[in-house]
Amino acid sequence: MSLSVADLAKQILDADDLPILKVTVREWKGGDGKPLVLGVRVMTVEERDSYEKEWVGKKETGIDNFRTKYLARCLCHPESGERLFDEAGIEQLAKKSAAIVSKLFEKALKHNNMTETDVEELAKN
């Protein structure tokens, strides 16, 4: 017997499809002197669409804090999944090491299945 449309839709909506990738950042130490472990979560469709919408039509000018705006949507507590940075935290995150933020950005892109081609397409629009 096949599932009803309502049951199938419910199963989709109930599916846990936002996994958290744990990332150790050796350059950032906690109060105990140990490297910080951060979570990188998969964005929701709403979050990714919002990010992409911000890019549309900005090929010439780009957007400020491209990497940190993306990371703010992805960096989270490694256990709870709670976002670490809201919009106000983007400016502060932008003052951190470009080398470290770039590594985290690359991990977030990969974890979110956002490829270099996707980024290039955004730049074209």
pTM value is 0.83
CA distance 26 to 34: 8
DSSP string over 98-120: HHHHHHHHHHHHHHTT--HHHHH
Q: Which two tokens stand for residue 90?
A: 């983007």
pLDDT at 114 > cutoff 60: yes
The count of domains in the chain is 1
Domain that holds residue 99: 18-124
> Is residue 7 a part of any domain in this protein?
no
How confident is the model over 45-104, as pLDDT tens digits?
A: 999 888 888 877 666 677 788 899 999 999 999 999 999 999 889 999 999 999 999 999
| CATH code (residue 31) | 3.30.2220
Q: Which residues pair with 21 in a beta bridge?
A: 40
Average pLDDT over residues 116-120: 68
CA distance 53 to 30: 35
CA distance 73 to 52: 12
> Is residue 12 a part of any domain in this protein?
no
Report pLDDT for 55: 77
